């Protein structure tokens, strides 16, 4: 499959090239200014970052938000930072995440974040088993009214 024939799904949007996804990430980073990203941009960036080869290790705590700012480890470099509920932060490589996203797209798999649901429906995948539906409800209440939560446990 040639890259131009790819269908890359990110946060409910379809892109035909890796460069198109990268362009969207660059636009988000240009507007970030070191502050927490807005909800729409957070969802997009998180969807990309979830394809990082070490995503499960890196996203091991509740994420409060995502910022784009200078790295403490590499002061000449700006990057995305996951900000956790406990106030700690961790950087995560967009380049590695994009590689994982492209690999999944080339494998011909329908990306998990494309779900046919009604407007206003939020679908979460790959939550740790220790997180209860009550905790999910409480976290989502920050964004608005939560009418119901349906949990489907995959084995």
CATH of 3-113, picked from 2.40.30.10, 3.40.50.1970, 3.30.1280.10, 3.10.450.40, is 3.10.450.40
Average pLDDT over residues 47-55: 90
Confidence of residue 2 (pLDDT cuts 50, 70, 90): very low
Residue 74, pLDDT score: 81
Residue 131, pLDDT score: 74
Confidence of residue 92 (pLDDT cuts 50, 70, 90): confident
Pick from 48, 110, 111, 117: nearest CA to 79: 48
DSSP 26-45: HHHHHHHTTSBPPHHHHHHH
**Mean pLDDT of all residues belonging to the chain:** 82
| Each residue's pLDDT tens digit, 23-38 | 999 999 998 888 899 9
SS3 content of the chain, % helix, strand, coil (to 5): 35, 15, 50
Average pLDDT over residues 69-98: 89
Is the pLDDT confidence value at 114 over 60?
Answer: no
Model pTM? Answer: 0.66
| Each residue's pLDDT tens digit, 119-147 | 667 777 666 667 777 888 888 887 778 77
> What is the distance between the alpha carbons of residues 48 and 145, in angstroms, rounded to a whole number?
26
Residue 115, pLDDT score: 52
Is the pLDDT confidence value at 102 over 70?
Answer: yes
Average pLDDT over residues 41-47: 92
Domain ranges, ordered by start, for the chain: 3-113, 115-155
């Amino acid at each position: 499959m040639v890259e131009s024939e790819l269908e890359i799904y990110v946060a409910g949007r379809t892109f035909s090239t890796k460069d198109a996804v990268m362009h969207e990430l660059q636009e988000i980073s240009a507007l970030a200014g070191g502050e927490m990203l807005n909800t729409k941009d957070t969802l997009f960036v998180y969807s990309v970052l979830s394809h990082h080869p070490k995503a499960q290790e890196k996203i091991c705590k509740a994420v409060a938000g995502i910022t784009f700012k200078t790295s403490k480890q590499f002061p000449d470099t700006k990057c995305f930072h996951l900000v956790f509920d406990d106030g700690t932060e961790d950087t995560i490589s967009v380049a590695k995440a994009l590689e994982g996203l492209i690999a999944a797209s080339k494998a011909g798999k329908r990306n998990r974040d494309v779900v046919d649901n009604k407007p206003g429906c939020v679908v979460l995948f790959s939550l740790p088993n220790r997180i209860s539906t009550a905790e999910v409800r409480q976290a989502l209440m920050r964004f608005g009214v939560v009418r119901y939560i349906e949990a489907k446990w995959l084995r």
